[in-house]
Structure 1
Amino acid sequence: MEFISQPWPWYVAGPLIAFIMLSLLLSGKRFGLSSNLRSMCSIMGAGKHCEFFDFNWKAQSWNLIFAVGLIAGGFIANQWMGADGVNISQQTIAELENMGVINPGQSMVPSELFSWDNLLTIKGLIAVILGGFLVGFGARYAGGCTSGHAISGLSDLQLPSLIAVIGFFIGGLAITYFVTPFLLNL
């Protein structure tokens, strides 16, 4: 079965996101994926040991279903929608090749950092463990993840979400320009 491999145009995807956000705002719900970790910990009984996890997770079950849908959608897109690579500029390709990336743009992420073979290397451990810790800490410290702040918080015109999104972009740029080249050259 072959599907169209092009992303949806902005004039289709944008209004759909706006419709979903308006529906969530009108129903009093807030979107964010990092809250699913709290729900999963609560489901597993962490509320018995920590007050933070002692809440009614069933009220957030819609968000858990959304997260499962994201995973299923990612799988479907990867298997049948032709995610063959990334369209990047020739200058970026040249810079990545200088850092040791083989065939940049041919896959979604450089296999020199993100592959099962590299997971147990020094750079793989730094990327996964330290990166995962920093993302988790940052999401908790900011009071939500990038999707929660950038989509839900900005839709609700929340100043803390604007500040968090600016911080996420600054952090992403810093990692891109300072940490990633270091990891690739390890």
Structure 2
Amino acid sequence: MNLILEPWPWYISGPLIALTMAILILMGKRFGMSSNLRTLCAIGGAGKLAGFFKFDWKAQRWNLLVALGVLIGGFIAQNFLSPNDAVAISENTITKLNTLGFKDGGQAYMPQALFENKVFSNPKNLVLLILGGFLVGFGARYAGGCTSGHAISGLSNLQLPSLIAVIGFFVGGLIMTHLIFPILF
């Protein structure tokens, strides 16, 4: 197996995630990407406008390195470690995507119908993007963290609120995928 040009199997990537979490737990750190947005806002002076952003952001600088690593790792994976953009999904899923208007189902990770620049010229899409961004931001704040924070860090720490949040994320994702998304598209 060529690990560079194939997706890493669970028995390599899973233990690497577990090792990362063990190191963070031993260091007394919690992982989550939404906290990076809070830190960036605090650095930018948002603490003058809202008390939520008034905190010692310098203590969270390490987490910004995690975010930078995610960006660099994603760039390297996309441009140097991925043999093609095809997604291994079932023919049934591709057929369903085609009926919803996504003609590139199974050909790329990001459908052009949602991620091309033309999306920004459609008022309906702009409203959906803004509303979706607001709901994700509100949900991450209301849940006390984002999906990565709860699913990886919170569950690693055996936190019941994280388990409840992750169950909510999955239920919400299923409702969106099977009920709301087909109505919108």
The TM-score, its normalising length taken from structure 1, stands at 0.92
Residue 70 in 1 paired to residue 70 in 2? yes
Count of matched residue pairs: 182
The alignment partner of 2:179 has SS state of helix
1:19 paired residue number: 19
- Equivalent residue runs for 1:5-154 within 5 Å: 5-82=5-82, 83-154=84-155
* Structure 1: runs of 5+ lacking an equivalent: none
Q: Which amino acid aligns with 2:74?
A: G
Aligned-pair identity (%): 59
| Contact in 2 for aligned 1:146/1:168 (Cα 8 Å) | yes
Task: Note the C-alpha offset of 1:44.
Answer: 1.0
> How far apart, in 1, do the equivalents of 2:27 and 2:33 lie?
18
> How far apart, in 1, do the equivalents of 2:104 and 2:144 lie?
38
The alignment partner of 1:144 has SS state of coil
* Structure 2: runs of 5+ lacking an equivalent: none
> How far apart, in 2, do the equivalents of 1:72 and 1:86 lie?
22
Q: Which amino acid aligns with 1:12?
A: I
Task: Note the C-alpha offset of 1:107.
Answer: 0.8
Task: Note the C-alpha offset of 1:13.
Answer: 0.9
> How far apart, in 2, do the equivalents of 1:81 and 1:183 lie?
34
Q: Which amino acid aligns with 2:129?
A: V
Q: Which amino acid aligns with 1:133?
A: F
| Contact in 2 for aligned 1:84/1:106 (Cα 8 Å) | yes
> How far apart, in 2, do the equivalents of 1:167 and 1:81 lie?
33
The alignment partner of 2:75 has SS state of helix
Q: Which amino acid aligns with 2:38?
A: R
Report the aligned-residue RMSD.
Answer: 1.5
The alignment partner of 2:126 has SS state of helix
> How far apart, in 2, do the equivalents of 1:145 and 1:124 lie?
23
Task: Note the C-alpha offset of 1:145.
Answer: 0.1
| Contact in 1 for aligned 2:143/2:165 (Cα 8 Å) | yes
> How far apart, in 2, do the equivalents of 1:123 and 1:174 lie?
20
Task: Note the C-alpha offset of 1:41.
Answer: 1.1
Task: Note the C-alpha offset of 1:122.
Answer: 3.3
The TM-score, its normalising length taken from structure 2, stands at 0.92
1:166 paired residue number: 167
> How far apart, in 1, do the equivalents of 2:79 and 2:128 lie?
25
Structure showing the higher helix proportion among its residues: 2
| Contact in 2 for aligned 1:114/1:124 (Cα 8 Å) | no
> How far apart, in 1, do the equivalents of 2:124 and 2:93 lie?
21
Task: Note the C-alpha offset of 1:28.
Answer: 0.7
